[in-house]
Structure 1
């Protein structure tokens, strides 16, 4: 029996999972990670990544016979980078995915035509290329760029490794030609010899070396497979890998990721696409709305009890809240000045709770309406993951708003996605927990009222608002 090791190197923790070919989890472990935040600065110690990864994999593999381990892959946070020396040792702290000290102006001026061709139009200050330019101001000779999982993959194999296209997206890699855009990077004075080679996720990088085996418990000689970003890893773990299928992750915020044959171009720049291991495209976007509003607006309340009480009340919620976790929206529209609001007057905490859930479901529906406007196929399976799926009431409400069945998985962690990418069979390893059908409740009128409110406030452009109305009327 073969066993694959998936590793999710996140912001708050590193998680390792040993998964058998039939999907049985034979071992799992996690270790916390610490960060330093100061205004726009967000840093981590790369050496801590390695120490805690090694501790987590040793524990996860404690009861797994070494001869059964068939491969390992690592997922990491998108846009997290550092500089290393030629020996792979860190020269700088890691600038995390949301570090915003850099300015994207130079990157956008030099790469405008390439970013336009790649569909996302422009980079944000927290993307990796602006951060690389910031680091280059004080970079010593011989410094090399490393993404978060590049750093630990090098430790695993004991020599230089290629980076994967998924993690290199925010560093400006040309995903169509699958190479660094040398004309752009030359204009930005990025030395070509500081950039790693690029490969697709799923490519073999090497094998675990003896020194790494001693520290991690992963047997020497185990194939090390190029991973992805954490969002793509979660999509793989959810099994959203067929054209037209989508993984909707609703936790603190909402993230949608799907599969298309062709590259999607978004005039607003709120949707961008990764490249899948098979060469197809993985478009997606991240909203600033989500369940994070619940703990802020209903502090100390028993959310499970509120969910049960909301489910007992007849009919859909009478009010709807636009549940922005923080000021500004990123998807399905770009509105830095957007703020949360409530339509209606909730009478108690149960109604306030239900209004937040309904608003998140409306944003989710609007995301799909916008993706449909861009030409993305949205008629496949919709797989819901994230903390919101713990509420049966919320899941049914989302199915009602979408007007179609939704799928829940037994396990859709990024670490499982990496175990699949490392060589496991997704048909056997990814298991469905339930398919939830809509109840038949008609939420058309409150949804369109919500869309009209977003348009009236100047946040949602007329074209996507009109398309949402037309699609709802079909």
Structure 2
């Protein structure tokens, strides 16, 4: 039986899935990861990644005679330095590490549309702090160990290091030491095969093709099947990521929205916010989410309006490094605060879609929910209600499934990636919105507040309010 392995390097753990062509999961495995946070600092030990991959892969492939291919995704913007053999020489700076603000400012002054937490400013910070080394993105550590030698990075992970995906080339103005940049290939490219040493460590059969992957957000998009023009996937995990499909790039001079290049040549525009489900863990440690959801249903809408940033600074739907979490009004209690946070994430999601509409992005296709937040039926319906549009929830809303689909595309290559993914993806639930108008006032109040604070540009705020008025006339 043909089967492909998808490996997802998440923030809190590694997930591996062994999946057949029709989407049947033959095996799965997980292993935890830990990190170190201190203010704007967020690091992980790259050695943990390999240990966790070995554990998760052994679980997923237990009893498997063959694996037809594998691909690996990682958190977008996570970088480190390695030596010439691909071994890490220091810690990995995670996707939201904020120590490279000065380097980000200098990069923008040089004409590069990057954000402070993107990989390029952090790569400069690493080079200036630790000295020269080989710039390496998170999945490259794993694919190097799997193949047994350094391999090229993929253009998806290289995007936030300012790789030019339209020209397929590194710009000349990156400001990094000579010889530090890796070779780059398009996702879906064959990198090599699993070597004997890696096979013994991971349980993955030696000779298994290793396929260049994509970022976790793109992986989740593939796992949602949202690859036809105009379709979108909203990934709600610790933070919120929106990814869509477009026949042409969606240009945004601020760099808030960026465009990945699809493995088969199309464009995958999107952006990553700093709001997300991580606020629930921070505010309600140890709470039962299902029980809190049931209590929150009494507050629609909540008596408070929240902009629930997980960490300081916002990246999408606007760029505001100084933005902080806010709550307007006084929640009636814990259940009302829970409701305000759930609704605040959905309001941000709506503002992201309004901003994409403002930029002229195609939005006429289906919307799919994936990520850990999609495990909550209540939150899914609430998001559909606030967005005012139908939404779909797949059975396996996991980036690891997306990597299995990409591995199948990269090894078989007899179908488009969209067709390959649609064959593997099974939709569990279709949500229809109701009561959208009751959220118009709190959403507008949040838009007004974000504009007043100088975070949300006035034209974007006006466009969002105009969309609310259009909804009221329907």
Normalised by the length of structure 2, the TM-score is 0.89
* Distance in 2 (alpha carbons) for counterparts of 1:184 and 1:315: 50
Which aligned pairs between 1:392-407 and structure 2 lie closer than 5 A?
392-407=377-392
Gaps of 5+ in 1: 116-120
CA contact (8 A) 2:223 2:402 kept: yes
Which aligned pairs between 1:357-372 and structure 2 lie closer than 5 A?
357-372=342-357
CA contact (8 A) 2:234 2:242 kept: yes
CA deviation after TM superposition for structure 1 residue 314, in Å: 8.6
* Distance in 2 (alpha carbons) for counterparts of 1:399 and 1:155: 42
2:403 to 399, 418, 421: 418
* Distance in 2 (alpha carbons) for counterparts of 1:95 and 1:466: 37
1:70 matched to 2:62: no
- 1:175-218 Cα shifts (integer Å, max 9, x gaps): 1111112x214xx2521x33222111111111122222222221
Q: Which residue of 2 aligns with 1:118?
A: none
CA contact (8 A) 2:275 2:307 kept: yes
- 1:428-468 Cα shifts (integer Å, max 9, x gaps): 21110010101244233333233223323333222111111
2:92 to 91, 94, 98: 94
Which aligned pairs between 1:132-151 and structure 2 lie closer than 5 A?
132-137=123-128, 143-151=133-141
Q: Which residue of 2 aligns with 1:332?
A: 317
1:171 to 161, 164, 167: 161
* Distance in 1 (alpha carbons) for counterparts of 2:34 and 2:287: 28
Quickly say closer, same or farther: Cα 1:394–1:135, change in 2 above 3 A: closer
1:473 to 459, 469, 472: 469
1:239 matched to 2:225: yes
Quickly say closer, same or farther: Cα 1:372–1:349, change in 2 above 3 A: same
CA deviation after TM superposition for structure 1 residue 319, in Å: 4.2
1:248 to 224, 227, 234: 234
CA contact (8 A) 1:107 1:123 kept: no
Which aligned pairs between 1:422-437 and structure 2 lie closer than 5 A?
422-423=407-408, 425-437=420-432
Query: Number of matched residues?
Result: 457
2:120 to 107, 126, 129: 129
* Distance in 2 (alpha carbons) for counterparts of 1:91 and 1:343: 45
CA contact (8 A) 2:21 2:408 kept: no
Q: CA RMSD in A?
A: 2.4
Which aligned pairs between 1:35-74 and structure 2 lie closer than 5 A?
35-66=35-66, 69-74=67-72
Q: Which residue of 2 aligns with 1:161?
A: 151
1:292 to 274, 278, 287: 278
* Distance in 1 (alpha carbons) for counterparts of 2:182 and 2:321: 34
- 1:341-373 Cα shifts (integer Å, max 9, x gaps): 444544333333323222222221111111100
2:250 to 236, 249, 264: 264
* Distance in 2 (alpha carbons) for counterparts of 1:350 and 1:189: 49
Specify the SS of the correspondent of 2:68: strand
> More displaced, 302-311 or 69-78?
302-311
CA contact (8 A) 1:244 1:260 kept: yes
* Distance in 1 (alpha carbons) for counterparts of 2:335 and 2:198: 52
* Distance in 1 (alpha carbons) for counterparts of 2:13 and 2:147: 22
> More displaced, 389-398 or 413-422?
389-398
2:454 to 458, 461, 469: 458
CA contact (8 A) 1:403 1:438 kept: yes
Q: Which residue of 1 aligns with 2:264?
A: 278
CA deviation after TM superposition for structure 1 residue 401, in Å: 1.6
Gaps of 5+ in 2: 410-419
* Distance in 2 (alpha carbons) for counterparts of 1:325 and 1:315: 23
Work out which of the two has the higher radius of gyration on C-alpha atoms and give 1 or 2. Answer: 1
Quickly say closer, same or farther: Cα 1:80–1:387, change in 2 above 3 A: closer
> More displaced, 262-271 or 289-298?
289-298
CA contact (8 A) 1:26 1:63 kept: no
Quickly say closer, same or farther: Cα 1:348–1:100, change in 2 above 3 A: closer
Normalised by the length of structure 1, the TM-score is 0.89
- 1:363-415 Cα shifts (integer Å, max 9, x gaps): 21111111100111112111112333333332222212211111111112111
